[in-house]
Amino acid sequence: MVNSLDVESVKVIIFQLGDKEYAIPVSQVQGIEKTMHITRVPKTPKYVKGVINLRGVVTPIIDLRDRFNVKSSVEDENTRIIIITVDEMEVGFIVDAANDVMDIPKASIEPQPEVVGSYEEEFISGVAKVEKRLLILLNLEKVLNTLK
């Protein structure tokens, strides 16, 4: 339980893809946007949905479902674009829903993601169990890097 302030913790944004919950540190999140018109960019990997106009900045959008080889779902009113920055790159992720902001005690993070045995394994930096929820922590560098 997170009842004492001296426990070291990370603040994360929690989002949903299918039935799983994922977490990204707040420090890497620039903002959460509703879906908007995406311009397709030809000759890019399938998971690159295209680019959007994010307040004057052209920002590439990645569909995490395609990235993780999860069956894609239909866009609905909960669909969000989470804008993140890694190494001065600004990229948006399409997710099913962005539900929560939470402090995860560092102690509750386990590095071995044995529970998840799928394609997305290589993008995971750890899992955290907080109040019966299982949160998957993403390694954003890896999510972005394999394009190169």
Partner 1 sequence: MDTNQYLDVFLDESREHLQSCNENLLVLEQNPHDLAIVNEIFRNAHTLKGMSATMGFEDLADLTHKMENVLDAIRNEKITVNSDILDVVFESADHLEAMIDDIANGGDGKRDVSATVAKLKRIENGEPINGASDTASQETATTESTATADSLEYDEFELTVIEQSHDQGFNTYEIAVQLREDCLLKAARVYMVFDILEKLGDVIKSSPTVEQLEEEQFDNDFYVALVTKDPADDVQKKLLKVSEVEKVTVKPIDYESLVRHEVAVTVEETKPVQSAGEKAAQKDVKPAAKKSAAKKAPAKKVAHASSKTIRVNIERLDILMNLFEELVIDRGRLQSIATELNHSELNETVERMSRVSGDLQNIILTMRMVPVETVFNRFPKMVRQLTRDLHKKVNLEIIGAETELDRTVIDELGDPLVHLIRNALDHGVESPEVRKAAGKPEEGNVVLRAYHSGNHVFIEIEDDGAGINREKVLEKAISKGIVTTEAAESMTDNQVNELILASGFSTADVISDISGRGVGLDVVKSTIESLGGNITIESTEGKGSLFSVQLPLTLSIISVMLVEIEKEIYAIPLSSIIETSIIRNSDILNAHNQKVIDFRGKVVPLVFLEEIFEVNRTEPVEDEFHSVVLVRKGEKMAGLVVDSFIGQQEIVLKSLGNYLTNVFAISGATILGNGEVALIIDCNSLIK
Write down the H helix ranges in the chain: 64-67, 140-145
Segment lying near partner 1 (by CB under 8 A), choices 18-26, 37-45, 117-125, 134-142: 37-45
Instruction: Specify the residue for token string 């922590």.
Output: 137
Biggest CA pair distance of the chain? 51
Segment lying near partner 1 (by CB under 8 A), choices 2-10, 46-54, 71-79, 120-128: 46-54
**Shortest Cβ distance from residue 94 to partner 1 (Å)?**
15
Q: Does residue 91 belong to the site contacting partner 1 (CB under 8 A)?
A: yes
> Which run of H or of E encompasses 54?
strand 48-54
- Return the residue of 34, 46, 55, 132 that touches partner 1, per CB under 8 A: 55
Q: Does residue 72 belong to the site contacting partner 1 (CB under 8 A)?
A: no
| Cα Rg of the chain (Å, integer) | 15
Segment lying near partner 1 (by CB under 8 A), choices 3-11, 47-55, 96-104, 111-119: 47-55
b/e per residue 82-96 (b: at least 16 CB within 10 A): bbbebeeeebbbbbb
Count CB atoms within 10 A of the CB of residue 50. Answer: 15
- The CA angle 94-77-92, to the nearest 5 degrees, is 20
Query: Which residue, 41 or 134, is less far from partner 1 as judged by CB?
Result: 41
**Shortest Cβ distance from residue 79 to partner 1 (Å)?**
18
Query: Which residue, 23 or 91, is less far from partner 1 as judged by CB?
Result: 91
Residues that bind partner 1 (CB under 8 A): 36-37, 39-44, 48, 50-53, 55-60, 87-91, 144, 147
